[in-house]
Amino acid sequence: MKITDAAVFPYPNGDTSVRRLALEAAALGFDSLVAIDTPPGTYGDIEVRSGIIFRDVPVRDIVNRMKRYRGTGTVISVRAGDAGFNRAVIGMKGMHILRGIHGAEKNGFDHVTAKMAADNRVAIDIDLSTLIAMRGNARQKAIARYRDVLVLEERFEFPLTVSTGSGSVLDLRSVRDISGLCSLLDMDIPLVEKALAGVGTVTTPLVPPVRVIS
């Protein structure tokens, strides 16, 4: 099991180089990072995976763009939208993570979408930057949305990922801090461990239950 931060934004998107983020992440207890718009690499003990996020892009364009990244090892994420959009992107081949659920429409992620996510092994991301940076009503809404997602997770068992959305070393949090923040969402330790290993789960190809021997 690799403990992974599912989205960091190294320089030039943030103020920290990918090497420095990897150094700090290792000290904070991570095994790997998904760095958005950054080439993959290994820095010390940390594996940095390349990631891409599609934001505010129509479904048709996402299909075309996704083809470019398929089979490259890039972790593909899409920002959540309304229910129709979410169902369409979850059904796409090569899709890994649906993120930004807290900012999507209230009924954007329902039991049907949850079932589809479980069937297609698409992870739902828990963005901790919302819990860290937001205050008051905005944070309360985010916590409520994530708790609702976790109710569906308990029923359908779709994969989860956890991300800090760090653009800086100052935004990174230790694995213990992440566990503490997740406890605000009523996540127990095994569920936090599952979420931290979520990137590995969605990027590992499924082993078919039946092997055909000719």
Partner 1 sequence: MTPRPPTLRDKRRYLLARLEPAGTAVDQKELYYVIADAITSLFGDAAAAVMIQAVVAAEGDFVFLRCRRGTERELAIALSTITSLRETRIVLRIIAASGTMESLRERIRTRKSPEPAPAGSEDRIFDQKTVTPVYCNGQKIDVIEKGFKNAHRFFLTTEDLEKS
Distance separating alpha carbons of residues 55 and 150, to the nearest angstrom: 23
Can residue 47 be called a binding residue for partner 1 (CB under 8 A)?
no
Q: Which is nearer to partner 1, 114 or 172 (CB)?
A: 172
Question: Regarding beta strands 46-54 and 75-79, do their DSSP bridges make them parallel or antiparallel, or are they unpaired?
Answer: parallel
CB of 44 to partner 1, least distance (A): 9
Residues 164/128, Cβ–Cβ less than 8 Å:
yes
Using the rule CB under 8 A, which residue among 1, 144, 170, 189 binds partner 1?
Answer: 170
Q: What does the block give as tokens for 83?
A: 């229910």
Q: What does the block give as tokens for 182?
A: 């997740």
Q: What does the block give as tokens for 156?
A: 């359908």
CB of 109 to partner 1, least distance (A): 25
The DSSP output letter for 68 is H
Q: Rounded to 5 degrees, what are φ and ψ at 31?
A: -105, -30
Q: Which is nearer to partner 1, 71 or 190 (CB)?
A: 190
| Window 183 to 202, contacts with partner 1 (CB under 8 A) | 183-184
Can residue 94 be called a binding residue for partner 1 (CB under 8 A)?
no
CB of 173 to partner 1, least distance (A): 6
Q: What does the block give as tokens for 134?
A: 């937001």
The DSSP output letter for 44 is T
| Window 53 to 82, contacts with partner 1 (CB under 8 A) | none
Peptide bond into 12 cis (omega under 30): yes
Question: Regarding beta strands 46-54 and 41-43, do their DSSP bridges make them parallel or antiparallel, or are they unpaired?
Answer: antiparallel
Using the rule CB under 8 A, which residue among 142, 173, 187, 198 binds partner 1?
Answer: 173
Lookup result for tokens 């920290």: 16
Each residue 131-150 as x (binds partner 1 by CB under 8 A) or -, in order, gives xxx-xx--x-----------
Residues 202/73, Cβ–Cβ less than 8 Å:
no
Each residue 105-134 as x (binds partner 1 by CB under 8 A) or -, in order, gives --------------------------xxx-
Can residue 15 be called a binding residue for partner 1 (CB under 8 A)?
yes
CB of 123 to partner 1, least distance (A): 23
The residues that touch partner 1, with contacts defined as CB under 8 A, are 11-12, 15-17, 19-20, 23-24, 131-133, 135-136, 139, 168-174, 176-177, 180-181, 183-184
